[in-house]
A and B are shown apart, each in its own frame.
Chain A
Amino acid sequence: DAGVIQSPRHEVTEMGQEVTLRCKPISGHDYLFWYRQTMMRGLELLIYFNNNVPIDDSGMPEDRFSAKMPNASFSTLKIQPSEPRDSAVYFCASSLNTKGAFFGQGTRLTVV
């Protein structure tokens, strides 16, 4: 298995534009997580899904953020409109049972 795959690896966009981050979890994993990493706040959980159903989205910072998981092999995190303070590395991770979460390479987002 190639692991968790995220795209794009880097995204530079202008303030106000819509940004869509994509994630393909490890096949067979039933949990999917979206985290954001910044120097100031470290790793923050944004939202997670179980069997494609959102379980906890309390970490989503604002209504500008939304996430979907239309099927077991794909999820998106959308920011609309984007702001400079959204600049961060966004990680997707997936897990099965209690074996721990496996992370993707991350998407480095820069909003200018």
Chain B
Amino acid sequence: AQRVTQPEKLLSVFKGAPVELKCNYSYSGSPELFWYVQYSRQRLQLLLRHISRESIKGFTADLNKGETSFHLKKPFAQEEDSAMYYCALGGTGRRALTFGSGTRLQVQP
């Protein structure tokens, strides 16, 4: 069975502070990890995928298979980063994504 854990429901930081949104996963096969962002009452938008090793809007995430983690990081938070962030897990043989419960990031001025 696949499982995604996002331990923090809410993360509140001040503008300019570093951000780390935690994600841990459980999966017996070869995982594919994604981060999605959802701004208020909008669609979920794909932010990052681990296979691309890209940086989007200043966010990065590294897959750590030893710790089964895929934490999302940004060195300097901006107010416009305030949103819900979801970690999602897919894998070989199963295209459907399993989502974590989400973390609300609140960036205060």
Seen from chain A, the residues whose Cβ lies within 8 Å of a Cβ on chain B are: 31, 33, 35, 42-43, 45, 48, 50, 55-56, 91, 93, 95, 98-106
Q: B51-81 vs A: 1/0 string, CB under 8 Å?
A: 1000000000000000000000000000000
Known: A42-B101, A55-B96. 11 other contacts (CB 8 A): A31-B96, A42-B99, A43-B44, A45-B96, A91-B43, A98-B49, A98-B90, A100-B97, A101-B46, A104-B43, A105-B42
* Pair count A-B, CB < 8 A: 47
Residues in B with CB closer than 8 Å to A91 are: 43-44
Contact call B95/A50, Cβ cutoff below 8 A: yes
Seen from chain B, the residues whose Cβ lies within 8 Å of a Cβ on chain A are: 32, 34, 36, 42-46, 49, 51, 86, 88, 90, 95-102
User: Closest residue to A3 on the B side, CB-wise?
Assistant: B43
Residues in B with CB closer than 8 Å to A102 are: 46
Residues in B with CB closer than 8 Å to A42 are: 99-102
Contact call B96/A33, Cβ cutoff below 8 A: yes
B interface, by DSSP: helix, strand, loop or mixed?
strand
The complex places the Cα of A45 from the Cα of B96 at a distance, in Å, of 8
Residues in A with CB closer than 8 Å to B95 are: 31, 48, 50, 95
Known contacts: A42-B102, A43-B86. The answer to whether A101 contacts B97 by CB under 8 A is yes
Residues in A with CB closer than 8 Å to B96 are: 31, 33, 45, 48, 55-56
Distance (whole angstroms) from the CB of A108 to the closest CB of chain B: 8
Q: Give 26 pairs: A residue, B residue, CB < 8 Å, sorted on A.
A: A31-B96, A33-B96, A33-B97, A35-B99, A42-B101, A43-B86, A45-B96, A45-B97, A45-B98, A50-B95, A56-B96, A91-B43, A91-B44, A93-B44, A95-B95, A98-B32, A98-B90, A99-B49, A100-B34, A100-B88, A101-B46, A101-B88, A102-B46, A103-B44, A105-B42, A106-B43
The complex places the Cα of A24 from the Cα of B43 at a distance, in Å, of 15
Distance (whole angstroms) from the CB of B37 to the closest CB of chain A: 11
